[in-house]
Amino acid sequence: MHLRNLPSVIVMFSVFVAGVVAAPMGAAMPDEQEKTPLVRATLVPRDARTVSLLSADVDIVGRLDHLGMTTVETSPERLAQLEESGMIEGYSIARPLHLLLDESTVTVQADVVNAQGRTGAGSAVVVIDSGINRDHPAFDDRIVAEACFLNGINGTCPSSGGARIAVGPGTAHPCAASGCRHGTHVAGIVGSSDNDLPGVAPGVDLVAVRITDNSGAIVSSDVLDALDWVLSIVETHAVVAVNLSLGADEDPGACRDVAWEAAVAALADAGVAVVAASGNSADDGLLPVAFPACLPGVVSVGATERSPGTGLAAGAAPELADFTQYDGVLDLVAPGVDIRSADTPGSGFVSLDGTSMAAPHVAGAFALLAGTQTAWSPDRFAELLRTTGVMVERFTALEGDRHERYPEVRLASAITFDPFDDALDGYWVAAADWAKHTGVSNGVGGDLFGPGITLNRAQAVTFLWRLMGSPEPSESSGFADVPDGQYYTEAVAWAKEAGITVGTSPTTFGPGGLVSRGVMATFLWRLAGESSGALGVFADVPDNAFFADAVGWMAENEITTGTSTTTFSPEDLVNRAQMITFIWRLVNTASAWDPAVDVPETAMF
């Protein structure tokens, strides 16, 4: 039985608002109306003046100074007025969440990386959870900061003299009996230094943030308070990741929240990844990733398991755990079944299941990656973990018999990855990282990718040939301008055989010819099985153009957004950065592939 049924908690979601509506003349007096309960909401004011105006008729219960937000208690009617006011950009209102619940570090290759001297030392991971048993020997005095945020549930923080918000030693512990088991277990996966049961990053510093009382209740405004506080300690403690092993239980997949998105973006700008569990309510069926894991910028993590009797040894084939919520925006997967980690009270260990146990494997991975590429953003590190992972396949006999693949973390490959020397910044760098790791591109020489070099036809089909595993064609291409012994010889023969190209004439391929956006779209569309797409999306793509179906397919699957909202620019030439980005988007988009086509082994969906 999976130990996943833990106490309910609450999180906020946002509604975008604009314009104040005055109360109508002759409205009933308060004593003539049935009283409605107050609600707690975190507001995103447009400016400082808005805050002073708000304070006149709502009860301000907290201020998120680093995020510039305000938490209030007021009536639903007043929130409805604010919704039309233009005074605020948005607000979050409370709804339920859950805390989402020996050899797993071997599976993700943390042991290999640890043996190379990378333990996470010098970095910190923040565990926002139920508190941590700071006396457990697995943490070896590495809990460097503690805080507690229980304002929203009117709770009392430990070691605080009755305060609802407290920062300092002891404020995230003690907790009654096994009240902080969840947070202790999660922290152990991130950074236990126990010789027999080490965490992913056994040298990392830990920051314990308690946002639950002993019943397990949480209010999302308290989590936002915690994220705001984290911004104040990033530099002091070299924070590289925040772990959120919690998620919404109702309306999974409802993922627009102006307050949370602003907090996640602010942390990303500070170099901090926000990692969240994807949810445990799938019950072997299709269910969207839970809030907040589904938010833009959050690294969502699902759970894997091994077949009975195989254990978690590195060679055992992983499967997506039946409870994992995975539809939509699942970024990574990691072990999450029968994970043994630190327990409380005392100094023992316990095995638990859940995406809560998967997420801290990834949070710990960010600590091990810290310093390998000092200029990289959290998003690029996350894409590196995706690129270097091992694909876990899941066949879903729903919605058109979907076949999906998600990368399970493999740290040894991620740590040793060496990017192209010119892949420093830009929209295309994650795609170039993927292309180098998978062998789709070897660059242009000198360990350079050459993003601005205009693509020719030989290079284009070679990219696609390598993407599909460099299959051996059954015969030569027959094109007079494709001699034997060239780097593209087999690629062109394969492309002709696969129906991706018919050449520029019956006898020529034109390997040195430059590739237009229309031709590029056609190559990709044919590769993926020529699925239908919407016509008339772009004004400069006539319905009778040879590339019309291909461009419509790309737009429908969000592989392209065009060169403007109304144009695709089909005659513009494609450079290497653009081509590799389009290919990368294709291998990340399950819906773009016809079910009859064998997708490449490097596909990530």
pLDDT tens for residues 241-280?
999 999 876 555 568 899 999 999 999 999 999 999 998 8
Position 603 pLDDT exceeds 80 = no
Q: Are 18 and 57 in contact (CB under 8 A)?
A: no
State whether the Cα torsion 159-164-166-172 is positive or negative: positive
Has 182 been annotated as catalytic? yes
How many Cβ atoms sit within 10 Å of the Cβ of residue 60? 14
- Determine contact, residues 186/249, Cβ cutoff 8 Å: no
Q: pLDDT tens across 284-304, in order? A: 567 888 889 999 999 999 999
- CB atoms < 10 A from the CB of 250, how many? 11
d(CA 408, CA 333): 5
Q: What is the mean pLDDT of residues 187-203?
A: 95
Which pLDDT score is estimated for 52?
Answer: 64
Neighbouring residues of 143: CB distance < 8 A, sequence distance ≥ 6: 132, 134, 205, 206, 207, 208
Known catalytic residue: 129?
yes
User: What pLDDT does residue 33 have?
Assistant: 47
pLDDT at 281 over 80: yes
- The pLDDT of residue 528 is 96
pLDDT at 147: 96
Q: Which residues pair with 513 in a beta bridge?
A: none
pLDDT digits (tens, 9 = 90+) for 328-351: 678 999 999 999 999 888 888 999
- Catalytic residue from among 278, 356, 441, 477: 356
Helix 517-527 to helix 576-587 angle (10° resolution) is 30
How far is 189 from 130, CA to CA, in rounded Å? 15
Q: Which two tokens stand for residue 103?
A: 């050899």
Q: Are the beta carbons of 272 and 379 closer than 8 angstroms?
A: no
Please determine, for residue 59, whether its predicted confidence score (pLDDT) is greater than 90: no
Strands (E) across 139-293 are located at 143-149, 165-167, 205-210, 239-244, 246-248, 273-277
Choose the weakest-confidence range: 27-36, 440-449, 484-493.
Answer: 27-36
Contact call for residues 302 and 326 (beta carbons, < 8 A): yes
Domains 8-27+36-97 and 98-371 share a fold: no
Retrieve residue 324's tokens.
């994992």
From 98, 136, 173, 182, active-site residue: 182
pLDDT computed for residue 22 by the predictor: 28
Is 185 one of the annotated active-site residues of the chain? Answer: no
| Per-domain boundaries in the chain | 8-27+36-97, 98-371, 438-592
C-alpha span between 363 and 91 (Å, rounded):
28
Question: What pLDDT score was predicted for residue 598?
Answer: 83
- The answer to whether residue 600 scores a pLDDT higher than 60 is yes
Amino acid at 300: S
Q: Which CATH number fits domain 8-27+36-97: 3.30.70, 3.30.565, 1.10.3470, 3.40.50?
A: 3.30.70
State the pLDDT at residue 159: 81
Task: Return the axis-axis angle of helices 181-191 and 355-369, rounded to nearest 10°.
Answer: 40
The confidence score (pLDDT) of residue 213 equals: 80
pLDDT-derived band at 130 (thresholds 50, 70, 90) equals very high
CATH entry 3.40.50.200 includes domain 98-371: yes
Position 176 pLDDT exceeds 80: no
Q: pTM to 2 decimals?
A: 0.86
Please say if the pLDDT value at position 536 is more than 80. yes
Q: Are 456 and 514 in contact (CB under 8 A)?
A: yes
Banded model confidence at residue 360, pLDDT cuts 50, 70, 90? very high
The beta-carbon contacts of 547-551 under 8 Å, at least 24 apart in sequence, are 547/518, 547/519, 547/521, 547/522, 549/525, 550/518, 550/521, 550/522, 550/524, 550/525, 550/526, 551/518, 551/521
Task: Kindly name the residue from 111, 129, 205, 327 that is annotated as catalytic.
Answer: 129
Structure-model confidence comparison of residues 277 and 47, the more confident one: 277
The per-residue pLDDT for 9 is: 35
Angle at 521 between CA 520 and CA 523, to 5 degrees: 65
> What pLDDT, on a 0 to 100 scale, did the predictor assign at position 318?
83
Reference 416, options 458, 373, 467; nearest CA is 373
Q: What is the mean pLDDT of the chain?
A: 86
pLDDT surpasses 80 at 592: yes
Percent of the chain with pLDDT over 70: 85
Q: How far apart are alpha carbons 219 and 39 in whole angstroms? A: 11
Q: Mean pLDDT, to the nearest integer, of 136-164?
A: 89
Distance CA 339, CA 402 (A): 29
Interstrand relation of 124-129 and 39-45 (parallel, antiparallel or unpaired): unpaired
pLDDT value, residue 18: 25
* Residues β-bridged to residue 342: 349
Beta strands in 100-215 (DSSP E): 124-129, 143-149, 165-167, 205-210
Q: Which is nearest to 69 in space by CA: 268, 257, 273?
A: 257
Q: Mean pLDDT across the stretch 224-233?
A: 97
* Average pLDDT estimate for 228-252: 89
- Which tokens belong to 53? 């105006």
Structure tokens at 26: 């002759």
Distance between alpha carbon 547 and the CA centroid of its chain, in Å? 33
Instruction: Please give the pLDDT value at position 250.
Output: 54
C-alpha span between 598 and 605 (Å, rounded): 13
Rounded Cα distance between 500 and 1, Å, is 50
When comparing pLDDT for 150 and 213, which is higher? 150
**pLDDT given for residue 207 in this prediction:** 98
Q: What is the model's pLDDT at position 12?
A: 32
Band (pLDDT 50/70/90 cuts) for residue 36 is low
pLDDT band at residue 158 using 50, 70 and 90 as cut-offs = confident
Instruction: Determine the Cα–Cα distance for residues 467 and 456; give it in Å rounded to an integer.
Output: 17
CA distance 260 to 11: 10
> pLDDT value at position 45?
85
